[in-house]
């Protein structure tokens, strides 16, 4: 039988079980009737002929079970039976179920929320088409480490390497001011080369990105704004596209609004305007330009670094100060997932892991106590033919079902946590707005739920499989040696669980305190009653008489 035929048979056995059983009953009845008729023809009376046919055919129910097992879906049917029985047992004891589900919901929900933040901020900080191919080029001081971007000559050399780079973009910090009767309202932004938005795997919420010729003189009076600036300054007006904004420096026309989860390089920068780098700057060794490179498919970082080493050596010969600097490349994700961010989130993840272990330990203790009260039931099931493996699987299935209920309730806690965490996390965290209850968070919740179910389900399942009917049903079993042994075991587990919970809770508290300390790090001055001033002297400067 080929695999397609096997799959067809198993699917039919799974979804058309009653029909197959009816066909099997009819076939067995036909065989028995044929044998009965042969016995009658041999001289037996009808009653003797039927009994003889049944004896010759064998035990009908046993043959049915053998046929069902050969369908290959018996384990699925047993699993469904276990889940149904487990659900009935949980509904039979609603107080236990409610306490366990709430405990698990807090542990699983909080863990899922923190892991979702870590997954977005550390492992997926860039909404790029090919984040693994994005590199940041920068000048590195041989003693002080990473410094800043590259100078125009290095950028010119990089632009000539079309075999290494699929796309090169540059950017720099910028500042514009809204006109106001009292004082200018500054807004921080970024100038970018027109190719910049081709790096990202997203589309504007409204409007478009820059065209290839924008950024040239006469075509550089356009800009794209962030979702936050659109909401704050323009009230989310959907007709903003094409509107000219009279900034103090120069009027600019809005051509696009970015989605809320996009920010670059930080959430403080709220607009992007195009700039086309001019050729005269190509010989300026003292200007610095931030550069992002997208490598060509198949190009390794080592190949790019080898090219940059050649450029560094040439510049060291052409300029005396160049001997102290090298041009390096690094994964662009390191620009956002800084050691400080990873350290803070790592400590927070450790604290929440302690909380999850405490929740699992508490539910495991509840499960052990509940299993202790079910010793007679489990012993009777074993006496009726249920093997230890089947009892173990049944109890583990109940634990997983409890974990699934806790995980479902934990999604509510996760949604609340993902709404609260961005208000507590520094605004510089990458993709802060992208942290939401999405498919990734649901996958994380599923994994945490299954892991938690295994954590608190193994001990009760192992204890339940050791039930012995002769000991459980003894008169005076409450004072039996076995019962005293189980009592000592339970008390030991309770003491151990309390001690472990105390240690874990203390560790979680210390880690949370460390996170608060990292988030409230002393800047070196008293930040209270301090304002930030953006002086603008351009208008005054124009009125000052200057020598011809």
Ordered DSSP codes for 125-161: ---BSSGGGEEEEEEEETTTEEEE-B-HHHHHHHHT-
548 vs 542: CA distance, rounded Å = 14
Domain extents in the chain: 1-25+46-72, 85-124+338-519, 131-336
149 vs 276: CA distance, rounded Å = 17
249 vs 268: CA distance, rounded Å = 20
Please report, in tens digits, the pLDDT of each residue of the chain (548 residues total). Answer: 565 666 565 556 555 667 777 777 788 888 888 888 888 888 888 888 888 888 887 777 777 777 666 665 666 777 777 788 888 888 888 888 888 888 888 888 888 888 877 777 777 777 777 888 888 888 777 766 666 667 666 666 666 766 888 888 888 888 888 877 667 788 999 988 888 888 888 889 999 999 888 878 778 889 999 999 999 999 999 999 999 998 888 899 999 999 988 888 877 889 999 987 654 344 454 456 788 888 888 888 898 888 888 887 877 777 666 667 788 888 888 777 767 777 777 777 777 777 777 777 777 777 777 777 777 777 777 766 666 777 777 778 888 888 888 888 888 888 888 777 766 666 556 566 667 776 766 777 777 777 777 776 776 667 655 555 555 555 444 444 555 555 565 566 556 655 665 565 566 556 556 655 555 556 666 767 777 665 655 454 444 444 44
227 vs 463: CA distance, rounded Å = 57
Instruction: Say if strands 134-141 and 290-295 run parallel, antiparallel, or are unpaired.
Output: antiparallel
The per-residue DSSP string of 455-498 comes to HHHHHHHHHHTT--HHHHTSTTGGGSHHHHHHHHHHHHHHHHHH
DSSP state, 258?
-
Do 175 and 270 meet the contact criterion of CB atoms below 8 Å apart?
Answer: no
pLDDT value for 280: 39
pLDDT value for 168: 83
Do 255 and 207 meet the contact criterion of CB atoms below 8 Å apart?
Answer: yes
Do 299 and 169 meet the contact criterion of CB atoms below 8 Å apart?
Answer: no
Q: How many alpha carbons lie under 13 Å from residue 255 in its C-beta half-sphere?
A: 15
Q: Select from 516, 135, 107 the least CA-distant residue to 348.
A: 516
pTM of the model: 0.61
Q: How many alpha carbons lie under 13 Å from residue 77 in its C-beta half-sphere?
A: 16
Helix (H, G, I), strand (E, B) or coil at 301: helix
pLDDT value for 208: 92
536 vs 248: CA distance, rounded Å = 10
Burial class of residue 165, CB neighbours in 10 A (0-12, 13-18, 19+): buried
Helix (H, G, I), strand (E, B) or coil at 261: coil
pLDDT value for 545: 46
Sign of CA dihedral 453, 454, 455, 456: positive
126 vs 276: CA distance, rounded Å = 24
Report angle CA 63, 65, 69 to the nearest 5 degrees. 120
Instruction: Please confirm whether the linkage preceding 265 is cis (ω < 30° from 0).
Output: yes
pLDDT value for 402: 84
Beta-carbon contacts of residue 163 (< 8 Å; ≥ 6 apart): 296, 299
Element (H, E) at 356: helix 339-373
Instruction: Say if strands 222-225 and 290-295 run parallel, antiparallel, or are unpaired.
Output: unpaired
pLDDT value for 140: 78
């Amino acid at each position: 039988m080929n695999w397609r035929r096997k799959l067809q048979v198993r699917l039919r056995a799974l979804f058309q079980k009653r029909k197959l059983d009816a066909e099997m009953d009819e076939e067995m009845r036909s065989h028995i009737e044929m044998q009965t008729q042969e016995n009658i023809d041999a001289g037996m009376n009808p009653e003797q002929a039927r009994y003889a046919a049944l004896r010759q055919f064998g035990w009908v129910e046993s043959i049915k079970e053998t046929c069902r097992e050969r369908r290959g879906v018996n384990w699925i049917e047993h699993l469904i039976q276990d889940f149904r029985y487990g659900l009935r047992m949980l509904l039979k004891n609603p107080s236990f179920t409610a306490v366990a589900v709430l405990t698990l919901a807090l542990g699983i929900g909080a863990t899922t929320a923190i892991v979702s933040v870590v997954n977005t901020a550390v492992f997926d900080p860039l909404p790029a088409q090919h984040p693994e191919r994005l590199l940041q080029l920068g000048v590195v001081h041989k003693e002080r480490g990473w410094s800043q971007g590259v100078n125009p000559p290095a950028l010119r050399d990089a632009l000539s390497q079309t075999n290494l780079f699929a796309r090169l973009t540059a950017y720099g910090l910028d500042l514009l001011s809204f006109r106001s009767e009292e004082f200018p309202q500054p807004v921080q932004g970024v100038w970018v080369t027109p190719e910049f938005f081709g790096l990202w795997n997203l589309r504007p919420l409204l409007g478009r990105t820059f065209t290839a010729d924008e950024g040239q003189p006469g075509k550089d009076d356009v800009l794209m704004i962030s979702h936050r600036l659109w909401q704050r300054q323009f009230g989310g007006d959907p007709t903003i596209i094409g509107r000219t904004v009279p900034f103090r420096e120069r009027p600019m026309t809005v051509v696009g609004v970015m989605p809320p989860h996009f920010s670059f390089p930080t959430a403080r920068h709220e607009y992007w305007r195009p700039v086309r780098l001019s050729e005269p700057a190509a010989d300026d060794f003292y200007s610095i330009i931030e550069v992002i490179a997208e490598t060509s498919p198949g190009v390794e970082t080592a190949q790019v670094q080898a090219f940059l080493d050649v450029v560094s050596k040439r510049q060291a010969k052409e300029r005396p100060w160049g001997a102290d600097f090298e041009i390096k490349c690094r994964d662009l994700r390191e620009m956002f997932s800084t050691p400080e961010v990873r350290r803070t989130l790592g400590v927070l993840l450790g604290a929440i892991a302690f909380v999850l272990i405490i929740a699992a330990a508490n539910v495991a203790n509840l499960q052990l106590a509940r299993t202790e009260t079910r010793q007679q039931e489990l012993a009777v099931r074993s006496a009726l033919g249920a093997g230890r493996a089947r009892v173990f699987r049944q109890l583990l299935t109940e634990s997983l079902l409890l974990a699934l209920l806790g995980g479902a309730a934990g999604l509510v806690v996760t949604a609340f946590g993902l709404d609260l965490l961005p208000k507590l996390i520094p605004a510089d965290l990458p993709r802060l707005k992208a942290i939401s209850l999405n498919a990734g968070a649901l996958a994380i919740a599923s994994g945490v739920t299954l892991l938690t179910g295994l954590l608190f389900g193994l001990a009760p399942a192992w204890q339940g499989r050791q039930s012995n009917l002769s000991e459980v049903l003894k008169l005076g079993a409450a004072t039996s040696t076995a019962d005293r042994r189980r009592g000592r075991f339970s008390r030991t587990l309770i003491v151990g669980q309390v001690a472990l919970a105390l240690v874990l809770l203390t560790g979680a508290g210390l880690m949370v305190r460390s996170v608060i300390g990292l988030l409230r790090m002393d800047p070196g001055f008293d930040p209270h009653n301090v304002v930030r001033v953006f002086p603008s002297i351009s208008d005054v400067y124009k009125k000052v008489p200057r020598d011809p």
